[in-house]
Amino acid sequence: MFKPRSLSLASATLCSTLVISGCANHLSQRSEHEERVERKLLEHSLQVDVGEPATLELPQRRVRIHELKTFDVTEFEVTRHYDRYTPYQPWREIYEIPLGAVTLVAGVGANIVNVITFGSLPDSVTKDWISYGVAGLNPFMNVPSHGRAQQNLAGIDEVQNDHHVEHSSLPWSESPVEVKAGNQSHELTTDRNGVLRINLLDSPFAEQDLSRITRLNLRVEDDQATIHTTASLPLSRSLRGKLIEAHGLIYDDLEDDEVSQWVHRVKRLSDLGLEEEASDLEQTLIEMTRNDPQLQHEFLRSLAKDAGRLVAVPASAE
């Protein structure tokens, strides 16, 4: 026979097991679905396109720079399963027990009516009322409540949907580029489209004697200095010979010159093959004479007669 002490211990253990198992009122499991994408970087590089021709024949050049990346991409469909339950709160039994008794009686009555009416009542009345009543009468369990429900992660299922290699090419936008001319280095910045504008007749190159510089060396490097690339842009001998003269034609004082000298400057730039610089100088002189219509007219007439250049006057300058 069992000793009284052993019986008491067994009874306490049984009660504790009932309390622990009965405290949580389990609800239906809930699942969440999402798509997850894993990208593994396979290759990372920079590309510099110095343009054509390979040798610089004119003072201006647009250099395009791109950042290239190659990824190994895997797409997953992820499902997370959660066990849901109503946590036990003893004070709720104050109203759940009497309410459970009423609901249980109502559920039994509803089932009797359902039999008489050949199953016309919904399950929410016949079954749910009885389940609610039984849970309410159980002092070790609260009735199910979705509003108070808590959840624990029960498991994760992952299914691979796709696997492919992805390439991206993005402009090296608004980023620094080191340009070395001889023993001098200059830091320039690309625009938002990843284009670096080089003008040998503009700062910082205008202050440097490029007559003996045979090439420009470009270096591009990311912020972490993990990747870099270099490129070179040779300068033609004819261009180097034109730069000093062209610089004087553009930047020497204009206000003390006569109209004929202005025309000579524009025509000479055009004769040197620097048509873009000639057009820029024309527009500068037109804007400079905007407040003197007579002088502006004389300049345009002389430009057409002596240089054979017909220039449309901007509306703001008329």
Please provide the DSSP assignment of 68-116 as one string. Answer: EEEEEEEEEEEEEEEEEEE---GGGHHHHHHHHHHHHHHHHHHHHHHHH
Residue 40 lies in a domain: no
pLDDT at 154: 84
Whether residues 188 and 290 fall in one domain: no
Residue 187: beta bridge partners?
178
Report yes or no on whether pTM surpasses 0.85. no
What is the structure's pLDDT at 106?
Answer: 75
Q: How many CA atoms lie within 13 A of 262 on its CB side?
A: 26
Cα of first residue to Cα of last residue in the chain, in angstroms, is 122
Pairwise CA distance, residues 123 & 127, whole Å? 5
Domain that holds residue 184: 50-70+169-236
Task: Please tell me the number of Cα atoms within 13 Å of 261 on its side-chain side.
Answer: 10
- Same domain? For 96 and 133 the reply is yes
Same structural domain, 94 and 222: no
Instruction: Say if 229 falls within a structural domain.
Output: yes
pLDDT block averages, 10 residues each, the chain of length 318: 45 44 68 91 94 92 95 94 81 72 74 75 69 72 75 87 94 94 92 95 88 92 87 93 89 84 90 90 88 86 80 56
Do residues 88 and 63 share a domain?
no
Is 221 in the same domain as 258? no
Query: So what's the pLDDT on residue 2?
Result: 41
- Is the same domain home to 27 and 61? no
Q: How many domains does the chain have?
A: 3
Buried b (16+ CB within 10 A) or exposed e, 191-217: eeebebebebbeeebeebebeebeebe
Choosing from 155, 187, 213, the residue where a domain stops is 155
Tell me whether residue 267 is in a domain.
yes
DSSP run (H or E) holding 131: helix 128-137
Question: What pLDDT is attached to residue 14?
Answer: 39
Q: Which of 195, 211, 236 is the last residue of a domain?
A: 236
CATH number of the domain that residue 66 is part of: 2.60.40
Question: What pLDDT shows up at residue 136?
Answer: 67
Q: Which two tokens stand for residue 82?
A: 């959660």
Q: Is residue 18 part of a domain?
A: no
Question: Residues 258, 263, 266, 270: is their CA dihedral positive or negative?
Answer: negative
